[in-house]
Amino acid sequence: MEKSLELINTRIRDGNARVVAAEEMPSIVDELGEEGALKEVDVVTTGTFGAMCSSGAFFNFGHADPPIRMERVWLNDVEAYTGIAAVDAYLGATQQSATQGEEYGGAHVLEDLLAGNAVELQATSRGTDCYPRRSITTELLLEDMNQAIMLNPRNAFQRYNAATNSTDRTLYTYMGTLLPRCGNISYSGAGSLSPLPNDPHFRMIGSGVPIFLCGAEGMVVGEGTQHASRGGFGNLMVTGDMKRMTNEFLRAATMTGYGVTAYVGLGVPIPVVDLDVVRHTAVRDEDILVDVIDYGVARRDRPSRRKVSYAELKSGSVELGEEVVRTSSLSSYRMARKVADRLKEWIETGSMGDLALPTRRINPEGVSRPMRETQQAPRVREIMERQVISITEDEEIRTAAKRLLKGETNHLPVLDKDGILVGIVTTYDISKAVVQDGKHRCVRDIMTRKVVKTHPDEPVDIAARKLEQNNISALPVVDTANRVVGMLTAIDLGKLFGRRWMK
């Protein structure tokens, strides 16, 4: 059995289409069966409201007199991309203010414009025969722009992996604040209410399909960047006219320590044309699984702690190993519902007009590959100092002092009798021991036992972050048996710069 889009659109025009939010579908199918649901329901509305970093807008500011070919442009001190003709720019949501850092960015400019606030535009140019002007400063309202077209390259992810943190320090990530020792789990997405889980094979959602975007009618452009539908991580590129949007459904935010992002409200109406649509729109949170990823591992391929369903995530806590860990949503389920409800209202009242099938299908088997790197990121082994001057824990402090002087170094890794790293002493530790009336005699008494270390295969960038975060200037480099094979100091990091200049 099938139902034509024609019939659905006729019912919409006549004001008697039956529209339901995706949340309601499972119970409707339970009650009426799939055939019954197909007969009864004409449109299923979906919605999500969450942080979507990959968002932004194209602006055309109009020409000034004398005219300027804008080479660099800032809106409220947030730089926009101008490599697209004289008075056009693309402002990305995550671009940060040159003056306020992560507390204000592209998303805030977009929200300010939607709120009706004036935004200061500054632009510079070298000046040309046709565009002689070199700089301009003016204040603009959204209505002053010729066009303000939102174009979001990657929105509405089908699902998103949850996040936790196994290290012993708090991490500040794009998945929010992650407490040490897996103290919490954060997740994003509206689960079964989100658009794409309701059409996982991209039959109804594709290019040209009308959508709800930030309070206005928008449209699906096609697949989003990094679209990976084969693994269940598809996403959409979407567009809409900012002049019709509202700041209720576009909210600027800052993930502390990560940066600015935009909360975007997005919903897609799905016409119920056949049983396949019925089955997919009856998806439940229990059916949508994601990994709980350990963000404590600072590499691309972070390990998963377990699989978890959106139903478990939404319940407020998840079992992780022996412990019950509380969960936090980063996206707003209340607002996701509001998106789906608003969309329902639009269709019921006919204000959205006809629904449409995709003019071009989105690839349901999309795969996102990692970056091809022609030069491997430098590893610790390439720049570490291999000549290690060390000391054992039962030697005298005086001996340590002599060795530091002789070796012209500030750090001595402390080894046990088997050559295993057990601590570290620095010139500071020794100076302190001398000043404090010399009660201590052995290295063991003054060494730091909890040593921050690295290993030969670790990328230098990660080791450098360890130095910075712990406010230290050297790291012992250890092998898998915890034997010291080198030292990495701030001086070694300098070698890298030397190498870059050589190229």
Partner 1 sequence: MKLLITFSRKGGREPVIARIVKETGVLINVEKANIDSMAGEMLIDVPDEDASVVLERMEAAGVSVRVLEDAIVRDEEECIDCGACISICPQEVFSFDPDWRIRLHPGVCVLCGKCVIACPHRALSLQQ
Spatial neighbors of 164 by CB under 8 A, at least 6 apart, are 178, 182, 184, 185, 186, 292, 293, 294, 295, 296, 305, 320, 325
Cα–Cα distance for residue pair 57/242, rounded to 1 Å = 8
Give the binding range for partner 1 (CB under 8 A) out of 66-74, 203-211, 250-258, 395-403. 250-258
C-beta of residue 79 within 8 angstroms of C-beta of residue 95: yes
Long-range Cβ pairs for the range 166-171 (8 Å, 24+)? 166/294, 166/296, 166/297, 166/305, 167/296, 169/469, 171/257, 171/295, 171/296
Q: Could you tell me which stretch among 154-162, 180-188, 200-208, 388-396 binds partner 1 (CB under 8 A)?
A: 180-188
| Residue 268: CB minimum distance to partner 1, A | 20
Candidates 17, 22, 49, 192; binder of partner 1 (CB under 8 A) is: 49
CB of 300 to partner 1, least distance (A): 24
- Looking at the Cβ atoms of 256 and 349, the one nearer to partner 1 is 256
From 53, 130, 214, 442, the catalytic residue: 130
Task: Using CB under 8 A, count the residues that bind partner 1.
Answer: 31
Cα gap 296→287, rounded to integer Å: 27
Each residue 301-340 as x (binds partner 1 by CB under 8 A) or -, in order, gives: ---------------x--------xxxxxxxxxxx-x---
Q: In sequence order, what are the residues at sequence separation of 6 or more whose Cβ sits closer than 8 angstroms to the Cβ of residue 59?
A: 80, 88, 89, 90, 91, 145, 147, 148, 149
Q: Which is nearer to partner 1, 283 or 313 (CB)?
A: 313
- For tokens 């989105």, name the residue: 362
Query: What's the one-letter identity of residue 60?
Result: N
Nearer to partner 1, 184 or 235 (CB): 184
Question: Could you give the angle at the alpha carbon of 44 between the alpha carbons of 40 and 48, nearest 5°?
Answer: 160
Question: Looking at beta carbons only, is 142 or 171 nearer to partner 1?
Answer: 171
Catalytic: 130? yes
Query: Which residues does 268 contact at the CB level (< 8 Å), separation at least 6?
Result: 45, 46, 156, 195, 198, 199, 205, 209, 211, 212, 220, 343
Q: Which residues of 286-323 are buried (b: 16+ CB within 10 A; e: fewer)?
A: eebebbbbbbbeeeeeeeebeebbbebbeeeebebeee
Between 233 and 263, CB nearer to partner 1: 263
DSSP 15: T
Residue from 59, 263, 310, 346 in contact with partner 1 (CB under 8 A): 263
User: What is the closest distance, in whole angstroms, from the C-beta atom of residue 445 to partner 1 in the complex?
Assistant: 30
- Give backbone dihedrals phi and psi of 491, rounded to 5 degrees, phi first: -65, -40
* Minimum distance, C-beta of residue 30 to partner 1, in the bound complex (Å): 21
Part of the chain binding partner 1 (CB under 8 A), chosen from 6-14, 36-44, 179-187, 466-474: 179-187
Would you give the binding string for partner 1 spanning residues 434-473, x where CB under 8 A is met?
----------------------------------------
Return the residue of 185, 205, 228, 460 that touches partner 1, per CB under 8 A: 185
Q: Which is nearer to partner 1, 333 or 346 (CB)?
A: 333
Residues 440, 429 contacting (CB under 8 angstroms): no
253 belongs to the binding site for partner 1 (CB under 8 A)? yes
Cα 155 from Cα 159, distance rounded (Å): 11
94 is an interface residue for partner 1 by CB under 8 A: no
Which candidate, 147, 118, 143, 134, places its Cα nearest to that of 72?
Answer: 134
| Among the listed residues 51, 70, 142, 282, the single contact to partner 1 using CB under 8 A | 51
Q: Where are the alpha helices (DSSP H) in 282-396?
A: 310-314, 333-348, 380-383
Instruction: Using DSSP, state whether 219 is helix, strand or coil.
Output: strand
**x/- letters, 137..176, toward partner 1 (CB under 8 A):** ---------------------------------------x
In the bound state with partner 1, the residue whose beta carbon lies nearer, of 342 and 453, is: 342
**Cis peptide bond upstream of 66, omega within 30:** yes
Helix, strand or coil for residue 253?
A: strand
User: Would you say 4 or 256 has its CB closer to partner 1?
Assistant: 256
Q: Tell the smallest beta-carbon distance from residue 288 to partner 1 (Å).
A: 17
Chain residues 210-239 in contact with partner 1, contact rule CB under 8 A: none
Instruction: State which of positions 337-366 bind partner 1 (CB under 8 A).
Output: 337
Binding region for partner 1 (CB under 8 A): 49-51, 103, 176-177, 179, 183-186, 251, 253-256, 261, 263, 316, 325-335, 337
| Residues labelled as active-site residues | 130
